A and B are shown apart, each in its own frame.
Chain A
C-alpha cells in the first residue's frame, strides 16, 4: 500500500511563480524525502527532512513537515521551465528499517515560459 500521497496530482504554472505540493502519509516516520523525476528518467534526490525537524531549505526549495498532521509540503520558489518534472515524496515507517521506503504517486509540475 502507498504510504505517501501527493496533492495535487498535476500543477501547471508560469515561470516565476511559486509551486506548492503536499504529501500526506499514514504512519509515524523516521524521515521524509522529496525526489524529482524528469520524464522517464531516474529520480534525483532533492531534500531529506527528519521527523524532529519542522522546516528545511535548499536553494529555491522549502520543505515543511508536520508530524501531528502527518503531512509535508514542498515549495519551489521562482519556478523555471527546467523545474518541469514529477515530484515524489518518500517515507520510511518508524517500525521498518530505514531501507524500506514508500513513495507516493507523485505531482506532475509543468512550468511554462
Chain B
C-alpha cells in the first residue's frame, strides 16, 4: 500500500531535549516536505527536499533541521525544542505536485 509513515505519532518532551521525527515513503517520490499545523494558521511549510541531498527552507525553518540521505526518508530534527514548537507536524511526499500526507505527529514541548 502506498503510504507515508511518521514516527512517533505522539510525543511529549521537555525544553532542550533533542528529538527526531522520522518520515518514510514507499512511493519512490523525489519530493518530500515537512509542515506544521497550528490553530487558525493552517499548514506552514518548514523544509522541503526535491531529491536526495537537496533540501531547502520553507516559510518557518527556524529551530528545525532536516536531512535527505536516502530517497525514502526525510527526518525532522529539533536540536533544542522549545514550547513554541508544540504543534501538529505532517510529512508529505510527491512526484508531480499532488502531495501524499502522513498521519501526523502531535508534539508537545513543556
A105 / chain B contacts, CB cutoff of 8 Å: 40-42
A40 and B42 in contact (CB under 8 A), knowing A97-B50, A100-B58, A102-B59? no
Report chain B residues within 8 Å CB of A44. Answer: 101
Q: Report the separation of the CA atoms of residues A45 and B40 in the bound assembly, to the nearest whole angstrom.
A: 20
Nearest A residue to B50 via CB reads: A99
Which residues of B lie under 8 Å from residue A106 when comparing CB positions?
A: 42
Q: Are the C-beta atoms of A43 and B99 separated by less than 8 Å?
A: yes
Q: Does A25 contact B (CB under 8 A)?
A: no
Main secondary structure of the interface of B (DSSP, over half): strand
**Do A1 and B31 touch (CB < 8 A)?**
no
A40 touches B104 (CB 8 A): yes
> Once the chains are docked, how many angstroms separate the CA of A103 from the CA of B102?
16
Question: Shortest distance in angstroms between A26's beta carbon and chain B's nearest beta carbon?
Answer: 13
User: Could you tell me if B101 and A42 are in contact, using CB atoms closer than 8 angstroms?
Assistant: yes
Assess whether B58 is in contact with A42, with CB atoms less than 8 Å apart.
no
B88 within 8 A of A: yes
Judge if B74 is at the interface, Cβ distance under 8 Å. no
> Is B100 an interface position by the 8 A CB rule?
yes
Contact B103 A42 (CB under 8 A): yes
Is the CB of A31 closer than 8 A to any CB of chain B? Answer: yes
Q: Is the CB of B42 within 8 A of A99?
A: no
Can you list 6 residue pairs at the A/B interface with Cβ under 8 Å? A40-B88, A40-B106, A42-B90, A99-B33, A99-B49, A103-B35
Taking Cβ atoms with an 8 Å cutoff, the residues of B that contact A are 4, 31, 33, 35, 40-45, 48-50, 56, 58-59, 88, 90, 92, 94, 97-104, 106
Q: List 17 additional A-B contacts (Cβ < 8 Å) besides A104-B42, A105-B40.
A: A31-B97, A33-B97, A35-B99, A40-B106, A41-B103, A42-B103, A42-B104, A43-B101, A90-B43, A98-B97, A99-B33, A99-B94, A100-B45, A101-B33, A103-B35, A103-B42, A103-B45
